[in-house]
Amino acid sequence: MEQNNSLPPFPQGIASPQGAMTPGLPLFSPMMPYGTGLTPQPVQNSLSLLEEQQRQQQQQQQQVSQQQGGIVGASGQTPQLYHSQAVTTTTALPGNTPLSSTLLSPMTPVPATPESSGIVPQLQNIVSTVNLGCKLDLKTIALRARNAEYNPKRFAAVIMRIREPRTTALIFSSGKMVCTGAKSEEQSRLAARKYARVVQKLGFPAKFLDFKIQNMVGSCDVKFPIRLEGLVLAHQQFSSYEPELFPGLIYRMIKPRIVLLIFVSGKVVLTGAKVRGEIYEAFENIYPILRGFRKAT
């Protein structure tokens, strides 16, 4: 088991009185000085700001521990990123001795080389658009096509479906079409071509112009639970977490421009990509952060 359950992660080394506060209080202020406005950079190229800060703190605390006689602290722990950084802001707490703050120092060394997560997000949905290049009579299409539904009072487009690839298309009278439900870019293109062929067979001079992937959605499972309350405090600029409205945390990554829905169960949904590489890149960016908020009970 990767999670270390031998000691509770926090508060480590401090007797927790009844009714002790959990992190989430203003005591534990957000640590990440993301004043640059950039999202965590991919760790492949260089140490992220996060890791740089961790390294600096480690160095500082090693100096402190040497002064105090080399106190090692709770070894074998994997203190959480949020937690370790929180300590530096809470040394003024009553009862907090320098010893106990050292005990809470980051013990897991920052890896010298970045590790890939080993998890590949699966593409779940591709949304694409194409211009059929001619005006369409939606009533005729709805009448003559088996796989079409049209209710102009509800929605001003024909909804058409095909079996392979299993997709749905919205066909508008302007000749523009939206194709959804494909699991890959190639499937989306093939499906859009099939819809265009159906419209052609119905007697319209349909073309296949300006096919474009508009959105890609991927999902994966990091296989550990995530402390969303800690994540939203640490990454306030990018995160929105309203459990009364939605159970997941909405993380708006800037580079790449992807929105991630992060759930306590460890499931992650990534959306907003135009190419699949953006999904993979976004996940590789977020994975080390999520590992920092992985907490064994």
By CB under 8 A, name the binding residues for other proteins: 1, 3, 5-8, 16, 18-22, 24-26, 122-123, 143-147, 162, 164-166, 182-190, 193-194, 197-198, 201-202, 223-229, 232-233, 236, 239, 241-248, 263-266, 296-297
> Distance (Å, rounded) from C-alpha 295 to C-alpha 297?
6
Q: Which of 64, 142 has the CB closer to other proteins?
A: 142
Q: Which of 220, 232 has the CB closer to other proteins?
A: 232
Residues 6+ apart with CB under 8 A from 157: 138, 150, 170, 171, 172, 173
Q: Give min distance, CB of 185 to other proteins, in A.
A: 7
C-alpha to C-alpha distances, 139 to 144, 168, 265, nearest whole angstrom: 9, 18, 46
Tokens of 97: 């001795």
| Relative orientation angle of helices 81-89 and 49-67, to the nearest 10 degrees | 60
> Distance (Å, rounded) from C-alpha 53 to C-alpha 71?
21
Q: Give min distance, CB of 66 to other proteins, in A.
A: 30
Q: Give min distance, CB of 109 to other proteins, in A.
A: 25
Q: Give min distance, CB of 181 to other proteins, in A.
A: 10
Alpha carbon of residue 285 to chain centroid = 9
Which residue bears the tokens 């990509």?
273
How long, in residues, is the chain?
297
Q: Which of 57, 100 has the CB closer to other proteins?
A: 100
Q: Give min distance, CB of 130 to other proteins, in A.
A: 12
Residue 220 — φ and ψ, nearest 5°?
A: -160, 175
Q: How far apart are the first and last CA of the chain?
A: 13
Q: Give min distance, CB of 207 to other proteins, in A.
A: 15
- The secondary structure of 221-239 as a DSSP string is E-SS-B-HHHHHHHTTTTE
Q: Which of 213, 258 has the CB closer to other proteins?
A: 213
Q: Give min distance, CB of 112 to other proteins, in A.
A: 28
> Distance (Å, rounded) from C-alpha 275 to C-alpha 55?
34
Q: Which of 55, 161 has the CB closer to other proteins?
A: 161
Q: Which of 22, 66 has the CB closer to other proteins?
A: 22
Q: Which of 98, 266 has the CB closer to other proteins?
A: 266
> Distance (Å, rounded) from C-alpha 90 to C-alpha 195?
62
CB 230 within 8 A of CB 80: yes
